[in-house]
Structure formats: C-alpha cells, structure tokens
Amino acid sequence: MILDEPTAGLDPLTTRHIVDLILELNAKGKTIITSTHDLHIVAEISDTVYVFDKSKKIVRSGSPLEVLADDVFLKQSNLLHIHSHKHDDQIHSHPHLHLDH
C-alpha cells in the first residue's frame, strides 16, 4: 500500500484509527509506504525513514529514532515544529520535539 499524508487534517481519534489500521495491515504482511509530515506517528509506523528535500532528492535515511533525534537536521529540513503560547501576557515560542531523547 502507498499512503500519502494519511492523517492530514484528521482529529486525534481518527488519526489513532488510521495508525492502528496501518500497524494491523503491516502485521498481516503488507508492505506500507507512507508519505507524511505528521512526525508524531513516524516512530510508531516506520522501520526506515527517508527525508526528501525540495528538489525531491533523498537527503537522509535511517531508523525513525536516528532521524527524529536530530533536531538540527529537522530544523534545517523545515520539519521541526515551533509552538507559541502565552505566559503572563508574553508570547513564548519553543521547538516541539518528537521523541524523548
């Protein structure tokens, strides 16, 4: 199966159902190729990760843990999320990490 952004725009419960379906099909022997920017599901659904640049060339491959642990690479590849929120009427921004490392 080839899936392109299978969780894009979905609510958290439906995302969970899609991830569970991917895992179930893979456990039954199906090979699944997924294109996603939804990095919080990558470690769960992937054995190998390939990151493409804007010119559609592979610039990195490896295990999900290797790729997602490299915050510098994720930032350079526009894959590190930046979250902003208020603290005492001041906007605070910080990177959102995808794994505990």
Q: Structural domain boundaries of the chain?
A: 1-46, 47-101
pLDDT at 16: 97
Residue range 28-44: mean pLDDT, rounded: 94
Q: Which residue has the tokens 């159902």?
A: 17
Residue 101 has pLDDT above 50, yes or no: no
Q: Is the pLDDT of residue 85 over 90?
A: no
Structure tokens at 93: 């921004």
- DSSP tag of 21: H
Q: Of the candidates 84, 55, 49, which has an alpha carbon nearest to the alpha carbon of residue 68?
A: 49
Mean of pLDDT values over 43-62: 95
At 86 the pLDDT is 78
pTM of the model: 0.75
Give the pLDDT of residue 44: 95
How high is the pLDDT of residue 30?
97
CA angle 42–35–41, rounded 5-degree value: 20
How many other C-beta atoms are found inside a 10 Å radius of the C-beta of residue 41?
19
